[in-house]
């Protein structure tokens, strides 16, 4: 296998990085492939390592001469003696390096008894070296605006999700991906992409804007007809449906390497302010730089924030309506409180703050939107003491919660004094089921849903609602605006919230009254009426965080 001039240049760059121990995964793979298949590559490799070892010896010799001039003749004799053996020593040294750093065990944990420097007939296929089955995350989805997933993709991560190698396809909107090696890429739909590794992506359709700091130099974007390799830059690519593409460099430099329709290699190095057009045959022509063609990270952050402000404005309007509704007994929005405040303000403003809650132990934290408040429950004694001495035959309980975990006792939402008839316990049990417990004169009646909190819902904001209707004898649980279960009431004819605690257990059977919720509450309300699914769905839709995505297997 003979090498072209461009390949020889690239090979020397890889050998430089080899000596400096600075090879990326892809570069290791490329070097290993050449050394296994090309006699010419192996000759260059041996010569290069010979030269490297010689230069290292010369540097050591120069230093020694400066320190001890009288030993110069002895050092020269030693160098002359070992010089014929340096190539063999280099092969052994780098062979050990390749075995420990380029072997399959570095990537997939498989046995690698076959060393890479051998004839191609005995070398395994390199798809096993670059293992597509690896599950290590390669990027994180950090921002989105108007994101809509393609109908034929099953990969629909939420904001903050770690992304593994694989297809990433969107119908419209924008998504910001932060790759694990440091590059940031913004995809604009419609886009059909594939995440390759922690510093590489492939684009078959759509726009991509990349910002690559020095730590991520070498970030690559595969196009239908070639590859763009970053040299420390800010650049954009757009791939059209017919397979043509455009490459724009805003700062720094990139290299484009590809092949035209006749099999000729195409190579372009572009600097800031330069652009090229690549037709579907791989032929490149210069382009003028566009104005405003791609969104950068600052633009996306602004649009994301603008979108969040719109959603928050809609929620604030709805909150005022809820607070003014005569059926609203208690409404905590958790917004606009000072960080040192020990009171949760009841937004209904009835009786000059009679519904305000007393905060014990909890800390104020960020809620489900940037800048919005929430209460975090982290210690055993954290709680909010409620002042709502009401007995209700009809009620709706609503909350936005984020649970960090479920212990043996589950997670308490609201518990009232257990010695009274109608005392309630509203919680998520240790199995992840939403539960309403009601004390009657004879027993504790329990009404529980199916599993509402599987492991993948922990750590995420979830909208919960439960209705109690003693008139029609039904308890209904809602998750993210959807009816999740409906159960017939046995004997309970009212519920009471006297001396209630928010986010903390009281002494119901099998409950530890010394434990609090582990997580955060962003919104909490109690209504003296039974709300139907349409109203609860509206509450969820208006209040849901930006980028929220209901899971396909749950409501």
For 83-104, what is the mean pLDDT? 47
Give the span between the Cα atoms of 555 and 484, in whole angstroms: 7
CA–CA distances in Å: residue 162 to residues 137, 159, 193: 6, 9, 16
Provide, for the chain, the percentages of residues in helix, strand and coil under a 3-state DSSP scheme, each rounded to the nearest 5: 25, 35, 40
**pLDDT at res. 13:** 73
For residue range 114-155, list pLDDT tens digits in order: 323 333 333 333 232 233 344 688 998 888 877 888 877 777
Which pLDDT band holds residue 50 (cuts at 50, 70, 90)? low
For residue range 400-435, list pLDDT tens digits in order: 999 998 888 899 999 988 777 889 999 999 999 999
**pLDDT at res. 318:** 85
Give the span between the Cα atoms of 536 and 322, in whole angstroms: 12
Using N-to-C axis directions, what is the helix angle for 25-37 and 86-101, rounded to 10°?
130
pTM for the model stands at 0.50
- Please, which residues bridge with residue 32 across strands? none
Compute the half-sphere exposure of residue 201: CA atoms within 13 Å on the CB side of its CA: 33
Which pLDDT band holds residue 519 (cuts at 50, 70, 90)? very high
Flag whether pLDDT at 297 surpasses 50.
Answer: no
Which pLDDT band holds residue 330 (cuts at 50, 70, 90)? very high
Q: Which domains does the chain have, with CATH numbers?
A: 5-122 (no CATH), 139-295 (2.60.120.1440), 327-543 (2.60.120.200)
Q: How many C-beta atoms lie closer than 10 Å to residue 417's C-beta?
A: 16
Give the span between the Cα atoms of 438 and 397, in whole angstroms: 14
- Please, which residues bridge with residue 316 across strands? none
Is 336 or 465 the better-scoring residue by pLDDT? 465
Flag whether pLDDT at 71 surpasses 60.
Answer: no
What does the DSSP 8-state code read for residue 38?
Answer: -
Task: Give me 86's structure tokens.
Answer: 């340096």
Q: Which of 238-242, 311-315, 354-358, 391-395 has the lowest mean pLDDT?
A: 311-315
Give one word for 467, left, alpha or beta, with left for phi > 0 and alpha for psi -120 to 50: beta
Share of the chain above pLDDT 90, in %: 23
Element (H or E) spanning 72, and its range?
Answer: helix 72-82
3-class state of residue 88 by DSSP: helix
Give one word for 392, left, alpha or beta, with left for phi > 0 and alpha for psi -120 to 50: beta
Q: Identify which of 455, 451, 443, 471 has the alpha carbon closest to the alpha carbon of residue 529.
A: 471
Which pLDDT band holds residue 383 (cuts at 50, 70, 90)? very high
Flag whether pLDDT at 18 surpasses 60.
Answer: yes
CA–CA distances in Å: residue 27 to residues 127, 208, 412: 14, 23, 53
Report strand pairing: 343-344 vs 284-287.
unpaired
Whether residue 527 contacts residue 306, with contact meaning beta carbons closer than 8 Å, is answered with no
Using N-to-C axis directions, what is the helix angle for 72-82 and 39-67, rounded to 10°?
170
Q: How many C-beta atoms lie closer than 10 Å to residue 80's C-beta?
A: 9
3-class state of residue 62 by DSSP: helix
């Amino acid at each position: 296998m003979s090498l072209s001039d461009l390949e020889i240049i690239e090979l020397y760059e890889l050998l430089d990085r080899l000596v400096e121990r600075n090879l990326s995964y892809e570069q290791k793979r490329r070097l290993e492939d050449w050394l296994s298949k090309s006699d010419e590559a192996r000759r260059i490799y041996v010569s290069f390592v010979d030269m490297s070892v010689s230069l290292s010896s010369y540097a050591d010799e120069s230093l020694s001469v400066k320190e001890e001039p009288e030993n110069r003749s002895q050092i020269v004799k030693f160098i002359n003696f070992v010089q014929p053996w340096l190539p063999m020593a280099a092969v052994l040294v780098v062979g050990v390096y390749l075995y420990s750093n380029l072997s399959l065990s570095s990537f997939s944990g498989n046995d690698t008894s076959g060393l890479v420097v051998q004839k191609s007939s005995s070398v395994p296929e390199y798809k096993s070296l670059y293992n597509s089955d690896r599950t290590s995350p390669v990027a994180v989805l950090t921002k989105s605006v108007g994101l809509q997933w393609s109908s034929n993709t099953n990969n629909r991560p939420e904001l903050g999700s770690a992304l593994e190698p694989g297809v990433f396809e969107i119908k419209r909107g924008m998504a910001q991906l932060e790759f694990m090696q440091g590059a940031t890429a913004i995809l604009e739909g419609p886009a059909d992409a594939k995440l390759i590794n922690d510093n590489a992506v492939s684009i078959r359709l759509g726009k991509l804007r990349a910002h690559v700091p020095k730590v991520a130099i070498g970030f690559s974007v595969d196009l239908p007809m070639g590859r763009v390799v970053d040299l420390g830059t800010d650049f954009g690519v757009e791939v059209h449906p017919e397979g043509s593409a455009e490459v724009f460099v805003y700062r720094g430099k990139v290299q484009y390497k590809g092949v035209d329709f006749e099999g000729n290699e195409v190579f372009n190095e572009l600097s800031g302010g330069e652009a090229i057009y690549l037709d579907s045959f791989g032929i490149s022509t210069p382009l003028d730089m566009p104005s405003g063609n791609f969104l950068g990270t600052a633009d996306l952050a602004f649009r994301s924030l603008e979108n969040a402000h719109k959603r928050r404005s809609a929620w604030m309007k709805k909150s005022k309506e809820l607070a003014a509704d005569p059926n609203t007994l208690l409404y905590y929005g958790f917004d606009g409180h000072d960080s040192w405040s020990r009171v949760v303000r009841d937004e209904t403003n009835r009786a000059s703050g009679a519904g305000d809650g007393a905060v014990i132990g909890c800390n104020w934290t960020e809620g489900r939107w940037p800048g919005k408040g929430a209460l975090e429950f982290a210690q055993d004694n954290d709680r909010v003491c409620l002042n709502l001495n009401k007995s209700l035959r009809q009620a709706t309980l609503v909350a936005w919660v984020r649970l960090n975990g479920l212990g043996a006792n589950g997670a308490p939402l609201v518990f009232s004094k257990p010695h009274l008839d109608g005392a309630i316990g509203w919680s998520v049990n240790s199995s992840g089921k939403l539960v309403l417990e009601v004390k009657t004169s004879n027993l504790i009646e329990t009404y529980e849903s199916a599993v509402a909190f599987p492991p993948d819902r922990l750590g995420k904001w979830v909208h919960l609602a439960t209705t109690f209707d003693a008139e029609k004898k039904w308890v209904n649980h809602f998750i993210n605006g959807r009816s999740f279960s409906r159960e017939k009431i046995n004997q309970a004819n009212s519920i009471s919230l006297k001396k209630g605690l928010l986010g903390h257990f009281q002494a119901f059977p099998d409950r530890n009254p010394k434990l609090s919720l582990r997580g955060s509450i962003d919104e909490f309300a109690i209504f003296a009426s039974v709300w139907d699914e349409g109203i609860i769905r509206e509450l969820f839709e208006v209040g849901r965080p930006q980028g929220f995505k209901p899971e396909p297997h749950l409501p």
